[in-house]
Amino acid sequence: MVQIIYKESSGAEHPVDAEPGKSVMQTAVDNGVPSILGECGGQLACGTCLVYVDPAWREITGEPDDMEEATLELHADNPHEGKRLSCQIKVSEEMEGLVLHLPDSQY
Amino acid sequence: MPSIAEMDLPLLPVEDPDFQRDPMPYVDAARERHPWLARFSQGYIVHGYEAVKDLAFMDDKLVMGLGHVVDFYQVQGSPWARFMLEMLQSHTGAEHARIRASVAQAFTPRRANEVRPAMRRVITQLLDDWTTDDHFDFAEFASYFPIAVLCGVLGVSTEGIPRIRRAIETHMASLTLDKAKYPAFMESFDLLWDYAGELIAERESAGANDETALLDALIAAKNAGKLNETELRDMLLVLLIAGYDTSKNMLTLTMYRLLDRPDDWQRCAQDIGFCAKVIEEMLRHSSIATVFRSVVEDFEYQGHVFPRGAMVAFAMPLANRDPQAFPDPMRFDPERKSANRHLAFGRGEHICLGQFLARAQLEEGLHLIAQRISHPVLAGDIGWRPFLGAWGLSTLPIRFDAAA
């Protein structure tokens, strides 16, 4: 297990024990983290699991691929940096302490 | 723990014309007896927001129930039955993901935005053709729009639309579970199947390879071994069928809802951002789809046992009017702020593939129609469609001032 910290814009933190191999979206949904909806269940079809990856962690979480970019266009007006769809980030051992910021709304 | 088969659940008369016109008196009474579950003639109907949301994610326990539809008509073994049982929605897990992936790229938010100019051309042409008079049946007008947009997405000519439009409408009637409609929709299926085959053959013999044309991409997927020939033809039919009744009915209901809101209509003509809010609230207030699922193994939910073999309908139009999720649900308010989002496009594995395309075309359509059709008023009797399948208006006669 590794610990992932989901942070609301209010500053409230949700530390969660995450199982490597599972997606960051599913980990959030299973642990009742607010604001991550995951309406499609993780098949990159809804764009409702947006997170902002903390700058210190972007290298480890990686860049979105073409399909994810095309879906992230839903959030084109959102000026935040580090936007990712969390169903596309798979938890790994090197993510111990990963910090993800939560949007106020997914739509 | 009680099985839902043994519970004294209220019965919703979904086939009753009064229910089709206004289901809410029946549903309000049913909620007094059970907050989220009722019976209907063929099985169970889930009408509570949280319950539909939770159950829609249980794809492994509740598979798409098109087998029940086939069983209802007792036509196992027919080409139509094969299509219903093998098309995208009837698959689950890895097979579903493989087939869905063959088209997913054409339905991203980015792609939906890229085809907005084509949507505007289609709707402008339709308005040019239809506004030479000062009245028409809006439901008929709207029926040309989504299918023309889809032809644009596929990269095929709109010339075939008059031939297939009625057939798609008739074919969709299979979901209303009315045995009288069986011969007509079987005939329609044959026509659509032939049409799909001809379209594919034409594109293949022309050697077309337009990277923005979805049909060419699907043919390429077949040639690369990702889809077989039948799957390609099934997929083409699914795309033609799935986007038709749904978008047409939403657009018609939107027109109907705005007939007595002239200020909103005017604002839609001026502001496409407001159109987006209107469409989103319409998807909440007057969504149209009821989908069938089938219980593949006994499971328990909220203290209820769902027995294997049961047919369960998710009534999105009713769940989106659940007062527990949406206070004062019958109030139509484009500015509504809600912690919950409507279920019009479903949830989970089978979430609507075309949701971004649908939103974009409804927004663009509403914006341009409101510019060209001024002061619309009701000009005759409206008709309601069957509640099951794709609910909505069958006729909406309007009169208007045509703007230049």
Contact by Cβ (8 Å): B106, B356? no
Share the mean pLDDT of chain B: 93
The whole-number pLDDT of residue B208 equals 78
Test mutation, A25, A65, A73, A106, chain B, max B CBs within 10 A: A73
Confidence of residue A50 (pLDDT cuts 50, 70, 90): very high
What pLDDT shows up at residue B376? 97
Q: Give the pLDDT of residue B159.
A: 87
Residues of chain B neighbouring A46 (CB-CB closer than 8 A): 351, 355
Task: Show the tokens assigned to B290.
Answer: 């009821």
Can you spell out the DSSP letters for B321-375? T-TTTSSSTT---TT---SS---TT--GGG--TTHHHHHHHHHHHHHHHHHHEEE
Residue-wise pLDDT for B156-172, tens only, equals 888 888 889 889 988 88
pLDDT in the model for residue B207: 84
Determine contact: A30 vs chain B, CB below 8 A: no
Least Cα separation, residue A33 to chain B (angstroms): 15
CB distance A5 to A92 below 8 Å: no
Res. B217 pLDDT band, cuts 50 70 90: confident
Give residue-wise pLDDT tens across range A27-37. Answer: 999 999 999 99
Q: What is the spatial distance between Cα B380 and Cα B400, in angstroms, rounded to a whole number?
A: 13
pLDDT at site B242: 86
Specify whether the CB–CB gap between B384 and B256 falls below 8 A.
no
A34 in contact with B at a CB cutoff of 8 Å?
A: no
Cross-chain Cβ contact B108/A40 below 8 Å: no
Does B113 sit within 8 Å of A73, measured CB to CB? yes
Span A61-85, average pLDDT: 96
Partner residue facing B349 (CB), from A43, A44, A74: A43
- Taking the CA of residue A41 and the nearest CA in chain B, the distance in Å comes to 5
CA distance B101 to B347: 17
Count of CB pairs separated by less than 8 Å, A with B: 45
Query: Quick check: A70 and B110 CB within 8 A?
Result: yes
Q: Which ranges in A66-105 belong to alpha helices (H)?
A: 66-72
Which among B113, B115, B134 is positioned nearest to B372, based on CA atoms?
B134
Looking at the predicted structure, is the pLDDT value of residue B173 above 90?
no
For residue A81, the 8-state DSSP code is S
The Cα diameter of chain B in Å comes to: 65
Bridge pairing between strands A2-7 and A98-101:
parallel
Do residues B117 and B361 touch, judged by C-beta distance below 8 A? Answer: no
Of the candidates B379, B363, B367, the residue with the CA atom closest to the CA atom of residue B250? B363
Output the pLDDT for position B206. Answer: 86
According to the model, what pLDDT value does residue B404 have? Answer: 61
Mean pLDDT of B381-396: 96
Determine the residue type at A57: W
What is the average per-residue pLDDT within B96-103? 88
CA-based nearest distance A59→chain B, Å:
25
Residue B369 has pLDDT above 90, yes or no: yes
Asked whether the beta carbons of residue B59 and residue A41 sit closer than 8 angstroms, the reply is: yes
B110 vs A71: CB contact, 8 Å cut-off? yes
Chain B contact set for A40 (CB, 8 A): 347-349, 351
List the single residue in B59, B108, B347 with the smallest CB-CB distance to A71.
Answer: B108
Q: What is d(CA A18, CA A91) in angstroms, rounded to the nearest whole number?
A: 7
Say whether B347 and A40 touch across the interface (CB within 8 A). Answer: yes
d(CA B2, CA B301): 11
Give residue A15's pLDDT band: very low, low, confident or very high (50, 70, 90).
very high
d(CA B155, CA B150): 8
**pLDDT band at residue A105 under the 50/70/90 scheme:** very high
**pLDDT number for residue B163:** 85
Give the pLDDT mean for B233-247.
Answer: 90
Contact state of A70 with B348 under an 8 Å Cβ cutoff: no
Contact present, B148 and B363 (Cβ < 8 Å): no
pLDDT value, residue B66: 83
* Centroid of chain to Cα B206: 32
Which has the minimum average pLDDT: B214-228, B269-283, B314-328? Answer: B214-228
- The encoded tokens of residue A1 equal 């297990």
Q: What is the pLDDT of residues B267-305, one digit of tens each?
A: 999 999 999 999 999 999 999 999 999 999 999 999 999
CA distances from B167 to B80, B247, B389 (A): 13, 16, 16
What is the reported pLDDT for B225?
87
**Chain A residues with CB inside 8 Å of B349's CB?**
40-41, 43
**What percent of chain B stands above pLDDT 70?**
100
Paired tokens of B276: 């987006």
Looking at residue B11, the DSSP 8-state letter turns out to be: B
Query: CB-based contact (8 Å) between A43 and chain B?
Result: yes
Q: What digits encode the pLDDT tens for the residues B9-31?
A: 999 999 999 999 999 999 999 99
